[in-house]
Structures are given as C-alpha cells and as structure tokens.
C-alpha cells in the first residue's frame, strides 16, 4: 500500500501533514490528487506522491495561509469518473470549523459543475473518525447571532451536497456524530464499518440537529424511529444502522481502518458503468418526487424521462441489447 504525504509549510513556518492510504489498484490504474490550481499529482507503479506546496494546493487561501482540511482526489484508469472528497483535519477529528466548511463548500461547488464526475465518495483520512460534528471550541467563541449564522451556513452546505447531480456515497470508517452524521445523511448512499459509531447527539448538548438532520433522518428511517434516536441522543454501531436502513452496506473493519471506504469504492464501481445522464435523471426524479404528492411526482418522472430519450446513451443502450454486447456509455 502506497502512502501519500503532503507537507504544506505555512507563513509562520508551521508544518501540516496529510497522510492518506491509497488502496491497491488493478494493473494500469492510477489515482490523481487534484490541487486547487488543477495540477495533478499521480501515484502509480508503487511510487508515492511527492510533496506539494501550499501555493499548489490551495491558491485561493494563500493570503490567509489556511491549512488544507478538505481535498479532492480524482481516480483514473478504469475508475475514471470517481472523485473522492478527502476530509483531513487531523487535529480536530474533522470537526466542522470555519476553514473546513469553507473548503468543503468550495469543492462541492466545483464538483456540481463538472460533467466528468460520475460518482463522489466522501471519506476521512483521519483514523477512527468520519466527522466528529461541530467544532465546539470555535462555537464557544461565538455569540448567539454568530452561532445562528454559522449553523445556517452548515445547513446550506448540506443542502449543497444533497443537490449534487451525481450519486454521492459517505464512507464511515469511524465516528459520525452530530453534524458528521448530517453530512452522511446529505449523501445518497452510506457505507460503514461495524465498529463505526453514529448518531444525532445534539440533545445531549442542549441543542437539536440544525444542519438538516431533523429533516433527513425521518425521511431515511421513518418519523417514529428518528424521533426516538434524536430525543435520546442515541449512538448506533454499523450493524444496528444497517438493520434500521440508516446505511446501505456494513462491513467488518480491516487492519488498515478503511473497510467502509473499500465498500464505498466497490459500490461506486457498480454505478460507474451505467449511463451517466440516466443516473443523474433518476436521482433528480427520486429527490424531487419524494417531496411532492404522487401525481406531481409522476409529472417529474415524465420530465426526467423525456430528457434521456434524445441522448446517444439511450441509442447505445438499445443497440448493445440487440447486439448482445456490453454498452459503452459516454454521457452524451
């Protein structure tokens, strides 16, 4: 297993390190860590990625010298089209602080306008944690109006993630608590290790889920069960979460601590060969249709269906079926 080590030296001489385990790939495959300037750091043939300077990694943040807390990796080769959002705020267990949220919003905005993206995986590079939720140290310094404004921004970010046109998968290899679970709930699909702990625990802190959790959890597991989980501030393991339908797949954790990521990658690879426009339209039809009455939902389905009829991918799908061969979709 290769290791990525990015060292970013700040204006005050501080050293920030981001270490990411790169899973073994099929022959001929490479992975690409994409910097904010578009530069690609390619790992292949057993060679580790070289270090990257702050100017290469986040050109928009050079003036404030913010460390990289969220980054992107675009997979290549047979996995081209899969993009990973890497959460790597090691010192604060990926807590949702100002810098973290700002960088996440920037990356999600970039992905929403990228037609080359087919599946997005949200994963953590911090061992034992997906996202620890709110940064309570930062929150303690805010007055009431500042806190309300910041939570409103969090709610907006989760909506932005939920609105991505392509399928999204949260890979929970560790704790996903409070805002961390709300981030996972904003994704279409979720995988988790059996050992992962997850829950909307805000009531144990005198709060309620404020970044979409009070609305998305009932839509996923049902109103009565969501109320029980939120009222009690309960924490669930991967097995329990799978049983109630909170997650799609659960696996035993491995020695490298990335079993849920491996399952998410496997799921992404199942989605990848399908027609991209059809997948996007299916997501739109379901997301919009579940928010309205059935008659209106049928109209939404018809509208989305009409958008795939003139595509080349639909013609390719029909031709491949007739010719008894696998289809090759191009997203056109």
| List 97, 133, 179, 317, catalytic entry | 179
- For residue 216, the number of C-alpha atoms closer than 13 Å in the C-beta half-sphere is 26
| List 178, 182, 210, 226, catalytic entry | 182
Active site residue 95: no
Active site residue 69: no
Active site residue 179: yes
| List 69, 84, 138, 202, catalytic entry | 202
Contact 77, 114 (CB under 8 A): no
| List 134, 226, 268, 285, catalytic entry | 134
Active site residue 182: yes
- Which residues, other chains included, contact 19 with Cβ-Cβ below 8 Å and sequence gap of 6+? 3, 4, 5, 125
- Please identify every residue annotated as catalytic: 134, 179, 182, 202
């Amino acid at each position: 297993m290769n290791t990525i080590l990015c060292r970013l030296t700040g204006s005050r001489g501080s050293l920030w390190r981001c270490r990411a385990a790169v899973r073994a790939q099929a022959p001929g495959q490479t992975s690409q860590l994409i910097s904010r300037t578009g530069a690609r750091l390619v790992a292949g043939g057993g060679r580790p990625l070289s270090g990257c300077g702050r100017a290469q990694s986040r050109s928009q943040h050079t003036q404030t010298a913010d460390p990289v807390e969220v980054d992107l990796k675009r997979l290549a080769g047979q996995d081209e089209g899969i993009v990973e959002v890497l959460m790597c705020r090691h010192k604060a267990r990926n807590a949702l602080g100002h810098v973290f949220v700002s960088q996440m919003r920037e990356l999600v905005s970039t992905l929403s306008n990228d037609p080359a993206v087919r599946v997005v995986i949200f994963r953590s590079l911090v061992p034992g944690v997906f996202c620890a939720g709110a940064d309570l140290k930062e929150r303690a310094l805010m007055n009431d109006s500042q806190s309300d404004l910041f939570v409103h921004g969090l709610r907006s970010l989760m909506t932005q993630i939920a609105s991505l046109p392509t399928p999204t998968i949260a890979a929970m290899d560790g704790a996903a608590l409070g805002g961390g679970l709300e981030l996972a709930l904003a994704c279409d699909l979720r995988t988790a290790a059996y050992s992962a702990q997850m829950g909307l625990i805000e009531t144990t802190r005198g709060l309620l889920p404020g970044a979409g959790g009070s609305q998305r959890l009932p839509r996923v597991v049902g109103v009565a069960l969501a109320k029980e989980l939120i009222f009690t501030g309960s924490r669930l393991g991967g097995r329990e979460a799978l049983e109630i339908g909170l997650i799609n797949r659960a696996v035993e954790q491995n020695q490298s601590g990335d079993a849920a990521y491996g399952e998410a990658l496997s799921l992404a690879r199942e989605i990848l060969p399908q027609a991209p426009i059809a997948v996007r339209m299916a997501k739109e039809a379901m997301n919009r249709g579940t928010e309205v009455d059935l008659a209106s939902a049928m109209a939404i389905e018809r509208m989305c269906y009409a958008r795939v009829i003139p595509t080349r991918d639909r013609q390719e799908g029909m031709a491949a079926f007739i010719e008894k061969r696998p289809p090759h979709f191009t997203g056109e």
